[in-house]
Chain A
Amino acid sequence: MSHFAALVVYAFFASIVFGITQRTEPKNMIRFGALCFGGFVVAAIVVSWGMFLLKH
C-alpha cells in the first residue's frame, strides 16, 4: 500500500466515525464527514509540498 493510499483509507474511515459522532442529523453527518475527508487529504498534500519545498 502506498503512503497516499494509506492516507486516503485512514481519512475515509476516520471521517465516517467523525461524521456519525459529531453531528445529529444524517444530512449534517454526511456533510461533516465529507468535510473531514477533504480536510485530511488537502492538509496532507499541503504539508507534503511544504516539506518538499523546505528540503529543496
Chain B
Amino acid sequence: MAVTQTTSVPVRQSAVSPTLVLLAGWLVPGLGHVLVKKPIRAALLFVSIVSMFFLGMMMHGKIYSATNGDVLDLLGFVGQMGSPLLYVIAHATSLGGQALTDTVSDYGSKFAVVAGLLNVMAAVDAQSLANGRKEGL
C-alpha cells in the first residue's frame, strides 16, 4: 500500500502587518510593495498608476463626486477613490474637468477610474505578499 507523504512548506510572512501594508498601498500607489521590500515593483506600480491618473486629468477627465445623486457618478467616485491621495490632489488643485465635454475627456475619466482600480489590485497584491498568500517574499 502506497503511503503518501505530505511536506509542509513554510510560509514566509512580512514583519509588517498585512493590514498596514494594504492601507499603505491603498493610500500611496506602490507604498505597500515598499513595505514588503519590493522596490522595483513599487516604482513600476507608482509610475504606472500615477501616470495613468494624471494623463486622465490632462485629457480633462471628470473628477467624480459622491454628492450629486447620480448612480453612475457614484460608481466613478468609488473607482477614483481606489487611489485616495491622487483623488484628493486632483480635487484640491482643480485638475480635470467638471463635466464630460468630448470623447477624449470621456477617455480621461476612464483613465482616472481605472488607475484607482489598478491601485486597489496593487494594494491587495502587496497584502498577499505580506501575509504569505502569494509567494515571492
Contact = CB atoms under 8 A, between A and B. Distances in A.
Contacts, number: 49
B121 A17 contact: yes
Contact of B122 (A9, A20, A24): A20
Contact of A16 (B48, B59, B103): B48
Please classify how large the interface on chain A is, using the bins under 10, 10 to 19, 20 to 34, 35 or more. 10 to 19
B49 interface: yes
Contacts of B134: 24
A3 B103 contact: yes
Given A6-B104, A24-B135, A25-B136, A17 B55 contact: no
Interface of B: 41, 44-45, 48-49, 51-52, 55, 59, 103-104, 107, 110-111, 114-115, 118, 121-122, 124-125, 134-136
Interface of A: 1, 3, 6, 9-10, 13-14, 16-18, 20-21, 24-25
